[in-house]
Amino acid sequence: MQKGDPEIAKWRRAFACIIHEHLPVLSTLMEMVDGLEAALGYLETVDATDKKQVAMALAVAGMASEYAGKLLDHFDLVDGPEFSKPDNLARARLVVGNLLKFVRDQIKLRQLAAWDGNDEQRGAALAEDEPTVRTDDAAAIPDLSVPRVDRGTFTVYWGDKHCMLGNTKEFAVFELLHQHSGRYVHIQTLIDEVWEGEITEKATIQKTVSNLRGKLKTAGMGDLKIDGAQKDHYALKPPTNS
């Protein structure tokens, strides 16, 4: 793929964003949907066995992620995202698809916030375009009481809430604790897995956990407790239904 490839230039123009102080949120999010849908549609057509096509796809996914990340950060919808460029076609599709879902959710939230109808109409609007779930198949019904970790956008989902942490130590800590949900994890395990064995002060871990708690609380997930009651251990303890 040559540097002056006209196809790359076309995508670069599509994902060029000019950020200014009075950028309208809703219309910009809608423009983002158009761009991300175009990128995802293109990625779905790529032949995984064609190295040139795959290289182009990775470049497009990288531009789409950077474009969306800058704008989402501008609107304070994410906390300093560090979107890693996808290194394979499957991940490229995952990253762009998850970004698209996230932006669509943001649009719906803003439209509902401005809704002047009654609560019943508002509930119907919220359910609009949502996939139908077969109630006769218990396995198909997601358990909204359990948090879900999405590595594609470095986001924690819990019920109808989400907390986009970015590619940060806070996300890595939550992901590890989520894998051991309800069980205490020793700080040495955090050092080995999150800090990859680097010499790390206990205060650094405490600060990271504190930041994580703050971000979850800001996102309305304060009830997802990061318990540090046991010395040198942390545990993720979602609230239990009584």
| Predicted confidence (pLDDT) at residue 188 exceeds the cutoff of 90 | yes
pLDDT (average), residues 144-157: 78
CA atoms within 13 A on the CB side of 36: 25
Q: Which residue has the higher pLDDT, 166 or 186?
A: 186
Q: pLDDT tens across 17-64, in order?
A: 888 888 888 889 999 999 999 999 999 999 989 999 999 999 999 999
Of 29-33, 126-130, 165-169, 193-197, the poorest mean pLDDT is in 126-130
Instruction: Output the pTM of the full model.
Output: 0.52
| Predicted confidence (pLDDT) at residue 12 exceeds the cutoff of 70 | yes
What is the pLDDT confidence band of residue 5, given thresholds at 50, 70 and 90?
confident
Tell me, what's the pLDDT at 114? Answer: 62
Q: In what order do the strands lie in the sheet with 225-227?
A: 185-186, 233-237, 225-227
Q: pLDDT tens across 203-218, in order?
A: 999 999 999 999 999 8
Tell me, what's the pLDDT at 139? Answer: 40
CATH code of the region 141-237? 1.10.10.10
What is the pLDDT confidence band of residue 173, given thresholds at 50, 70 and 90?
very high
Tell me, what's the pLDDT at 80? Answer: 52
User: Domain ranges in the chain?
Assistant: 6-127, 141-237
Q: pLDDT tens across 92-150, in order?
A: 998 898 888 889 888 888 777 765 555 555 555 545 544 433 344 444 334 445 788 88
